[in-house]
């Protein structure tokens, strides 16, 4: 497992997004749609990326995030949901200083061996912010079990992001992670 610079991820971006598409079960055309989004994320404050490779130098895991801030699409979607369901002091407490865990994906063939946990620990070990927030599709998945084991709690459940009909959970926890 290694941390990747923006240049290193940019050089492997199509491969990284294909891994994401495979892990999430999205249609292959999603790859071309997501490459510009991932590229834009790389310029955000606090951006960090970790990757894991198999013995053929192929990506087996990818994860990244950055400092969340007002005006970012995800931040505004989550803020809207929080304002509908949480008191203002809790909204402020979560959104004032957080690291957005934007993507964390392990290739299906590499799942179940602790790679996701190792990647998450590495990515968050020096992440900026008092908290970390993420969103994940609702449902019993390996990702859910990982986040629960790592101390993430419910912030929003059955949240709908604009443009996606699926229900999502927004999970969070304080930083730093316990050792």
Q: Do the strands 98-106 and 59-67 form a parallel or antiparallel pair, or are they unpaired?
A: antiparallel
Task: Give the residues across from 106 on adjacent strands.
Answer: 61
Residue 45: the pLDDT is 97
What pTM, to 2 d.p., does this model score? 0.94
> What would the pLDDT profile of 7-65 be if each residue is shown by its tens digit?
999 999 999 999 999 999 889 999 999 999 999 999 999 999 999 999 999 999 999 99
Angle (nearest 5°) at CA 132 between 101 and 54: 40
Q: What size, in residues, is the chain?
A: 179
Are 156 and 85 within 8 A, CB to CB? yes
Phi, psi for residue 41 in degrees, rounded to 5? -60, -30
For residue 164, pLDDT beyond 90: no
> What would the pLDDT profile of 97-150 be if each residue is shown by its tens digit?
999 999 999 999 999 999 999 999 999 999 999 999 999 999 888 999 999 999
For residue 88, pLDDT beyond 70: yes
Q: Which of 64, 66, 98, 147 is catalytic?
A: 147
Are 104 and 141 within 8 A, CB to CB? no
Domain boundaries, the chain: 2-174
Fold of 2-174: Aminopeptidase (3.40.630)
pLDDT (mean) for 158-176: 94
Residue 179: the pLDDT is 54
Q: Specify whether 64 is catalytic.
A: no
């Amino acid at each position: 497992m290694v941390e990747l610079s923006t240049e290193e991820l940019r050089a492997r971006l199509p491969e990284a997004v294909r891994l994401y598409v495979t892990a999430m079960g999205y249609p292959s055309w999603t790859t071309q749609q997501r490459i510009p989004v991932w590229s834009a994320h790389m310029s955000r404050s606090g951006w960090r990326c970790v990757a894991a490779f198999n013995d053929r130098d192929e990506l087996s895991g990818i994860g990244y995030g950055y400092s969340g801030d007002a005006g970012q699409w995800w931040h505004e979607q989550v803020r809207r949901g929080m304002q509908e369901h949480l008191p203002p002091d809790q909204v402020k407490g979560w959104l004032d200083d957080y690291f957005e865990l934007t993507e964390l994906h392990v290739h299906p063939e590499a799942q179940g061996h602790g790679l996701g946990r190792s990647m998450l620990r590495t990515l968050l070990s020096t992440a900026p912010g008092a908290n970390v927030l993420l969103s994940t599709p609702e449902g019993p998945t390996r990702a859910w079990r990982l986040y629960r084991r790592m101390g993430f709690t419910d912030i929003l459940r059955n949240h709908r992001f604009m443009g996606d009909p699926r229900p999502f959970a927004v999970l969070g926890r304080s930083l730093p992670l316990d050792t």
